[in-house]
Amino acid sequence: MSRGSQMSMAIPLTPVVKWLIIANVAIWFGLQVLVEGFLKAPISNVLSLVPARLIFEFRIWELFTYMFVHSMQVTHILFNMLMLWFFGSELEQRWGRKYFLFYYLFTGVGAGALYCLGMASYAAATGSQVGLMIPVVGASGAIFGLMLAQGILFGERIVYFFMVFPMKTKYFVAIMGVVQIASMITSSVGGGEVAYLAHVGGLVSGYFALVILSRLKSYENFKKTKKKGGNLRLVVDNEKPKKSDNGPRYWN
């Protein structure tokens, strides 16, 4: 394979994806590792999503800030940022910066909101408040939203499951969704160290975000068509035709 072919197959680092990665890494390393690690400032606690605080203290901003905070394990942020790059760059190229950023934030916020709703429902049904007190951090909900979009838009593309088994992207996403649901059902309410419910929430939010994007695109296309149609003029030349003319002439 030539050098040019290798370069053409490289995954680009698009502008919004790049700045999202920079923001996540800066918050993780600058605030969590340095400030929280050395000065013992409770950065993670302040920015994480805790269902009880959202419901009873109305800390709505946590639905946004939790996406930019990760655990202190390097693998957590490393895996999320790689997935953001792999799944996000092509979507940003397809949709543009504005729509991609909307989709990413919508799925992340939606994943957090559905997680809190699930924990509140569990608390109401069982009387246990444990799930309401467990903080959630990480961009995984939004990443699963990106994964869903890849499965729908590029479902026929071949990917390698576990780097070995080739399969279509839509089947890969379906398997990952089933795994998350099964893990959520079989784990405790806290889900151990993984918030499976937030992952499922990202998939659900991604579906609704795609519906909204489709409606917005349709509306924009309608406005463009209407505007173009409003500029059309019908001109009829009904003067006495020349012998070479076959009738009236029309222009846009």
pLDDT at 251: 36
Mapped onto helix, strand or coil, the DSSP state of residue 188 is coil
* Whole-number average pLDDT of the chain: 84
Q: What is the pLDDT of residues 24-43, one digit of tens each?
A: 999 999 999 999 988 888 88
Superfamily of domain 12-221: Rhomboid-like (1.20.1540.10)
Question: In the 3-class helix/strand/coil scheme, how is 93-161 assigned residue by residue?
Answer: HHHCHHHHHHHHHHHHHHHHHHHHHHHHHHHHHHCCCHHHHCCECCCHHHHHHHHHHHHHHCCCCEEEE
DSSP label at 66? G
Q: Is the pLDDT of residue 248 over 60?
A: no
Instruction: Give the Cα-Cα-Cα angle 166, 168, 170 (nearest 5 degrees).
Output: 140
Q: Domain residues of the chain, as ranges? A: 12-221
Q: Which of 5-14, 17-26, 224-233, 237-246 has the lowest mean pLDDT?
A: 237-246
Q: What is the pLDDT of residues 160-198, one digit of tens each?
A: 766 677 888 888 899 989 999 898 888 877 656 778 899
Closest to 198 (Cα-Cα) out of 120, 151, 122, 142: 142
As beta bridge partners, residue 161 has: 165
